[in-house]
Amino acid sequence: MIDTLFSGLIHGGAYALVAVGVSLIFGVTNIVNFAQGSLVAVGMMLAWYTGSVLGWPIIPVVVAVIVVTALLGWLINAGIIAPLEGRKPIAALLATIGVGQILDNGLQIVFGARTRPFPKLLDTSNLQVAGVRFGTSDIVMVAVTVLAMLGLWAFLTYGKAGRAIRATAQDPQAAQQMGIPVKRIRNLAFVIGAVLSGIAGIFIGLFNGNINPMNGGTIGLTAFVAAAIGGLGSIPGAVVGGIVLGVVEAVGVFWFGDGAHDLITFGALIIILIARPQGLLGPKTDVKSEPMTGTFLAGARPIALPWWGNLALAAALLATPFLFSDYLAGIGTQVAIYAIAAVGLTLISGSAGQTILGLAGPVAFGAYASAILTTQLHWPFLAALLAAGVIAALFASILTFPSWKLSGHYVAIATIGLGAVMVALIRVAEPLTHGSLGITGIPFPTVFGATLNTQQKIYLLDVIVLLVALVIVMRIQKAHLGHVFDAIGSDQEASEAIGIRPGAYKALAYAVAAFLAGLAGSLLAHQYTYVDPTIFNSNMSLLILTIIVLGGMNSPIGAVLGSIILIGAPELLRVVPEARILAYGALLVLVIMFRPQGLFARKG
């Protein structure tokens, strides 16, 4: 147990370095930087290249990592985040998601996807105390973490630029009126945060021994959880959150096995959010600006087609299965499935203005529910399809129920955790779901006695379900309920003032979105005839969100257009999947910067 606690402390120190960067940037800019983990991967891979390929010793490696990550931090803010100033913070948040995708997949293109040994820049197991083996790298890691924290505290307390950072964090407008160069201070915050992530990448590589260019996303998400547990915007809270999370993870995995890792990590996040939403050391104040709430559409409205236009589009969709080859129909099934999930998201993230970052969870529950009902209980497909939607909506609603009492970005943070928890529950429920092995032998859909065993037939089914989803969502948007959602998304405080309960209506919109996500999951399971937990990762959630950003966050038809562009077109380039996902990130950034209302919406 002693070595487990020691391992947790070391991992917690790495989380703390990254979490401090997350909290520093959040405190100064009110932006959650989801590219922070990707900068960890940059530091890790640059250290591998300079240490292994070039043979550099530790000091030049650290200097190279500091220089490169500092430059990237400056470029991210100056080139992408700063031009978005004046828009709602959700725009910058989504832009950082796009930047993270660009960095992650750019690293994979440059270095390749294989896992490789990290160079022995420092000894990793040359010391032993009380039966616990550790290395010089662990001592240096702890020393660097402590010195970095003390140095940052002294800088923020006594340094001129540090005091300017604190003033900017407290009130940017007042700081600017006092002559503080707010733009330069924000650049500095991003630079410091990026450097801390890059240094953390070196030590994570040393501790793990083997690295992969795609490791950064997971590390960054965990560090974000640590920052949220400690209190977003609190530097001491980030340190405490990182250490606490590292120890809790280590002990939990020791007791329950590695399969429970995500359940422990994100379960801890949800418990903290419910019990103390501002985090362990965060100040208990009302959130004035919600970085994960509202839309950046500036009054944008979905383009409304006449009845005959909608009818023509429906007829065109229904005709495609009879015109497409097997290959194109296979691509069409993917487009339709993601469009079904995205259409539901237009209600909660578009109309009601609440960003949802964990929709992969309901998709997973729908897929597994349908797979279990058809393979183990031998239900007919149509009954399993509807049950999958209901089960996904029911479990998603139950798990998110406590979070609707929270405000703004706390809800969005909770959805990240809840999406991961739903997939983790599937992983640990081995007797029912077969855990990490997944479920095989899922039958093709059978409708009214006909087995849909060709790509064209499955595609036709998916199109019909998509059209039903479009009708449901468009009817809701035109009804009184849809106007209530719009009112909440436009001005939540004004809605509360006239007696509307935003939490209750957001929960209802989320339930509808989860129902449609469950339908999408069921269709996916019966098309693949196999499911496992790795399919339903955070990239799926981000991709669904990107689809509605591209098409228009409150436009159901825009969701279909976004899916065609983001799923259909890149599927033709499946021979270069890394470039395909890199293109997702680049397109997300470009749309947010130059076409924020989406492709199928217009400014109001």
**What DSSP line would sit under 350-402, residue for residue?**
IIS-B----THHHHHHHHHHHHHHHHTS---HHHHHHHHHHHHHHHHHHHHGG
Reported residue count of the chain is: 604
Output the pLDDT for position 4.
Answer: 80
Q: Which residues pair with 121 in a beta bridge?
A: none
| C-beta of residue 268 within 8 angstroms of C-beta of residue 248 | yes
Question: Helix and strand tally (H, E) in the chain?
Answer: 25, 10
Output the pLDDT for position 208.
Answer: 83
Residue ranges of the chain with per-residue pLDDT less than 50: 286-289, 297-298, 575
Within 8 A by CB and 6+ apart from 208, the residues are 118, 215
Q: Where do runs of H (alpha helix) occur along 171-234?
A: 172-177, 182-208, 215-230
Q: Which domains does the chain have, with CATH numbers?
A: 2-289 (1.10.3470), 301-602 (1.10.3470)
| C-beta of residue 523 within 8 angstroms of C-beta of residue 340 | yes
| C-beta of residue 468 within 8 angstroms of C-beta of residue 343 | no
Within 8 A by CB and 6+ apart from 290, the residues are 89, 90, 407, 408, 409
Output the pLDDT for position 288.
Answer: 45
Output the pLDDT for position 391.
Answer: 97
For the chain, helix, strand, coil in percent to 5 are 75, 5, 20
What is the Cα–Cα distance from 501 to 507, expressed in whole angstroms? 10
Dihedral of alpha carbons 534, 277, 496, 300, sign: negative
